[in-house]
Amino acid sequence: MTDDLDALRRRRQELQDRDDAVSYVRRVAQGRADVARAELARRRGETAEGDRHDELRDVLSDRLLGGPSRPPRPIEDHSDHPRAVELDELCARHGFGRLPELDIDELAQLVAALDDFEHAVSAERQEVFRELDTVTDQFVAAYRIDVSEG
């Protein structure tokens, strides 16, 4: 039974690692969408012209670090994760690095593309949660059997 527990431990760790990566990419996507959305709002005259540096700092500290409601955790470099690469490619295609040069329609398309990407990553994260819950339940059941037999 110990082999089963070890296999379940490994699978649970794989899922937790995947969740960490997907969660990080999701926060980056949300942060980039927030920055692009703020630029779009400024261009449309919906918000006052503010200090972009302060806004960027606020967005990044909230999204990447999780804000005050999320306890600090070590942040690994997930930049080589396939979803992170996909996000970078999406941003390059839609001109995220050229925000000041984009017209309003291009900004709106960028925001929509980032929102769609974030929704897809959120759905993937929910799948990971479901599988993680299943593996955790299996682990607890196997552990109880192992303890009762041992």
Exposure of 69 by Cβ count < 10 A (0-12 exposed, 13-18 middle, 19+ buried)? exposed
What pLDDT is recorded for position 2? 72
* Residue 127 · residue 23 · CB < 8 Å: no
pLDDT at 18: 92
Provide the 3-class DSSP secondary structure of residue 39: helix
* pLDDT surpassing 70 at residue 59: no
Residue 39 CA to residue 36 CA, distance in Å, equals 5
What pLDDT does residue 122 have?
96
CA pair distance 129, 140, nearest whole angstrom: 16
* Each residue's pLDDT tens digit, 66-79: 555 544 455 678 88
Give the number of C-alpha atoms closer than 13 A to the C-alpha of residue 94, restricted to the C-beta side: 23
Taken in order 95, 100, 105, 107, is the CA torsion positive or negative?
positive
54 pLDDT above the threshold of 70: no
How does pLDDT run across 102-146, given as a tens digit for each residue? Answer: 999 999 999 999 999 999 999 999 999 999 999 999 888 887 776
Other CB atoms closer than 10 Å to residue 111's CB: what's the count?
A: 21
Rounded to two decimals, the pTM is 0.78
**∠ CA 26-121-69, rounded to 5°:** 40
What span, in angstroms and rounded, lies between the C-alpha atoms of 109 and 104?
9
> What are 84-98's pLDDT values in tens digits?
999 999 999 999 999
| pLDDT 10s digits, 2-45 | 778 889 899 999 999 999 999 999 999 999 999 999 899 888 88
Q: Find out whether 121 and 78 touch, Cβ atoms under 8 Å.
A: no
Predicted pLDDT at 52: 55
- What pLDDT score was predicted for residue 63? 54
Helix (H) or strand (E) holding 113: helix 104-149
Give the per-residue pLDDT at 146. Answer: 67
| pLDDT confidence tier of residue 1, bands split at 50, 70 and 90 | low
First to last CA, the chain: 10
